[in-house]
Amino acid sequence: MTMLASLAIVYLLAVLFVIVLSRQITIGAFGSQPGNLFLFVSVAVLFPAALLVAIGISVARLVRDRRSGRPGSTFKARLTAFFAVVVALSSLPQGVVSVSFLNASLGVLFDANTGVALRDGLRIALQYYDHHVQVHDGIHTAGFFQERSGLVRSDPDLLWRQLNERLPGVASLQVFDEGGVMASAHGEEALFSDYRSSLDSGLGASVRTSRGRERFLRSAEYVPGGGTRSLVVVASRLPAGFDDAAARLTTSVALFEELEKLRPTFLATVSFIYIALASPMFLLSILVGFFLSDQVIRPIESLEAATRRIAQGDFSVRIFSRTTDDLGLLVMSFNRMAQELERNRRLLARTEKVMAWQDIAQRLAHEVKNPLTPIRLATERLRRKYAADSDDFPEVLERTTSTVIKEVDALATLLNEFRSFSRVPDPDFQVASIYGVIAETAEVFHQQSNVEVDLSGLTKELTLPIDLGQMRQVFMNLFTNAVEASRGGALTISVSSTEVTRAGAEYCRIRVVDNGPGIPPELQERIFDPYFTTKSEGTGLGLAIVERIVFDHHGQIWLETEQQSGASFFIDMPLELT
């Protein structure tokens, strides 16, 4: 949950950053705040770069896991690729449609008629203003008031009417004496009462002035008459909002011309903004894919590891899971299965132990009974001879006691073998060279002229956790069985080793091959059973002891052979104890 919350916060920050970035790019396009624009563009490059580094680390781990054969790595790669493909398939068409729509919108926005209309509107407004200025200036230049200087004081009404004919739309006509007192006013009375401001604005020149929100063109001129001078002030009203409209037109034309210059790079800018948004989202989706695949695979890895341990015989393994989803239910089912397997294994082990001891007791009783018969018969014969006071009694006594001693020795050997089988101690593990153990055992057989032990296939540097004495007994029994099966013929025993991986664990596989007569297929499944033997002499416990020692070393032994082709014993020993 913490990881998901962190990714969600990073996602929201990325969206916010792209929004701010788009605004900064728009502002920067018109020359404002270039420093901030550079900062945001740098972050837009560094943020995906940081995500790429994180993805690179995750990909490197994934490659390492796949090379090492870690469970779930292939599924993790597929799930992450699925996330990336889904995001790509959803974002690419969206980007193409957005850019196409924007391109079409720009075509409409930057239509040639739009620019012409904006420029014509501004030109008409300027012409309108210039026309009024020219009319105002023309009145004074043409001497309109100088020619009518007599009417300035004597008949201002007639002067007003003539001015209206000459300057339609005139707002006011005001006449001030030299003292600054207004003598007459027509139009909007007392439109301008500031006598001094009219003089300061300049005589004979039109200036733009205002009263409140209204805009006017005003001009002033001194006119002589009757020995005195009068100041004539003329004002024309501009249309309402003329200045604001003209300012907006000027700004719009300037903006349109600036956008026309930026149009070739505008699509590139928008594409950069889209990539700045899409690339972090795409990279974040890949990171989310890695995260979610980890969440999905972690229980699978635990299940795989637990299954491997169960396959190796550890039925006590359990998996702990805090989730209650489908994977959690699967983990719970696995734990119940492991618990049931452990219970059944204990029950089976108890049953097998009882059956094994029953079988051993039967076999032991049979083996003990066999020598008892000749002992009984010899004893009874000896008693009869003694009772009859037979002349050959000394000779019969000698033969009878020899038979009894022989059978008693056989019983002693049988009991010793049984004691050895039942009292095999737990291994005393130490890391040692397996080559040294086998070579030391092979020295015993090198003294026989008909036996050759080839150890060239063994890795001399290979070390294993073993009990030295017990492993010598293993190879001693294997070599002895091969020699006895050869019945005195020429025998070659070859021993080789290789490293193998089984159920996710590393093992050393040792192969012991001889060129003897081999073992018939119908007997191969019984050769490791206690008291099973094909020899006239022997207890049948040698290979049973070998199997038990290998099992106590957490290993496995099996036979592959064909009759008349020799026997091949394979022993898998773990490189490390778990």
Q: Is the pLDDT of residue 303 over 80?
A: no
Q: Is the pLDDT of residue 567 over 50?
A: yes
Q: Is 167 helix (H, G, I), strand (E, B) or coil?
A: coil
- CA–CA distance, 162 with 175 (Å, rounded to integer): 15
Residue 518: partners with Cβ closer than 8 Å, 6 or more residues away: 561, 562, 563, 564, 565, 566, 567
List, for residues 466-515, the tens digit of each pLDDT value.
988 888 888 988 888 888 877 767 888 999 999 988 766 789 999 999 88
Q: Where are the alpha helices (DSSP H) in 68-176?
A: 73-109, 112-141, 144-147, 149-154, 156-166
Tell me the one-letter amino acid at 60: A
Q: Is the pLDDT of residue 267 over 70?
A: no
Superfamily (CATH) of domain 142-240? YNR034W-A-like (3.40.1840.10)
Residue in the block written with tokens 């024309």: 236
By CB atoms closer than 10 A (0-12, 13-18, 19+), residue 21 is: buried
- CA–CA distance, 401 with 381 (Å, rounded to integer): 11
By CB atoms closer than 10 A (0-12, 13-18, 19+), residue 538 is: middle
Q: Is the pLDDT of residue 399 over 70?
A: yes
| Residues in a beta bridge with 223 | 230
Confidence at 363, pLDDT banded by 50, 70, 90: low
Average of per-residue pLDDT across 290-306: 74
The alpha carbons of the chain give a radius of gyration, in whole angstroms, of: 57
Cα–Cα distance list, 118 to 112, 150, 249, 518, 559 (Å): 10, 48, 7, 106, 98
Average of per-residue pLDDT across 538-543: 68
Instruction: Please provide the average confidence, as pLDDT, over all residues in the chain.
Output: 76
Q: How many CB atoms lie within 10 A of CB 386?
A: 12
- Does residue 555 contact residue 479 with C-beta atoms inside 8 Å? no
Return the CATH number of the domain spanning residue range 326-421. Answer: 1.10.287
Task: Pick 18 or 93 by higher pLDDT.
Answer: 93
Q: Is the pLDDT of residue 220 over 70?
A: yes
- Which among 221, 95, 230 is positioned nearest to 154, based on CA atoms? 230
- CA–CA distance, 413 with 42 (Å, rounded to integer): 89
Average of per-residue pLDDT across 230-253: 82
List, for residues 410-455, the tens digit of each pLDDT value.
777 767 766 665 555 678 889 999 899 999 888 888 777 788 889 9
Average of per-residue pLDDT across 350-376: 68
Give backbone dihedrals phi and psi of 563, rounded to 5 degrees, phi first: -60, 140
Q: Is the pLDDT of residue 131 over 50?
A: yes
Confidence at 572, pLDDT banded by 50, 70, 90: very high
Give backbone dihedrals phi and psi of 492, rounded to 5 degrees, phi first: -120, 125
pLDDT at position 570 is: 92
Task: Pick 117 or 103 by higher pLDDT.
Answer: 117
Residue in the block written with tokens 């995500």: 51
- Which among 141, 202, 189 is positioned nearest to 166, based on CA atoms? 141
User: Within 13 Å, how many C-alpha atoms sit on residue 409's CB side?
Assistant: 8
Q: Is 171 helix (H, G, I), strand (E, B) or coil?
A: strand
pLDDT at position 195 is: 65
Angle at 476 between CA 475 and CA 479, to 5 degrees: 80
Superfamily (CATH) of domain 427-574? Histidine kinase-like ATPase, C-terminal domain (3.30.565.10)
Domain ranges of the chain: 2-109+253-307, 142-240, 326-421, 427-574
Task: Pick 177 or 90 by higher pLDDT.
Answer: 177
pLDDT at position 482 is: 85
Confidence at 30, pLDDT banded by 50, 70, 90: very low
Residue in the block written with tokens 């909002």: 241
Q: Is the pLDDT of residue 175 over 80?
A: yes
pLDDT at position 510 is: 92
Sequential DSSP letters for 261-273: HHHHHHHHHHHHH
| Domains 142-240 and 326-421 agree in fold | no
Q: Is the pLDDT of residue 548 over 80?
A: yes
Q: Taking the alpha carbons of 545, 546, 548, 549 in that order, is the dihedral positive or negative?
A: positive
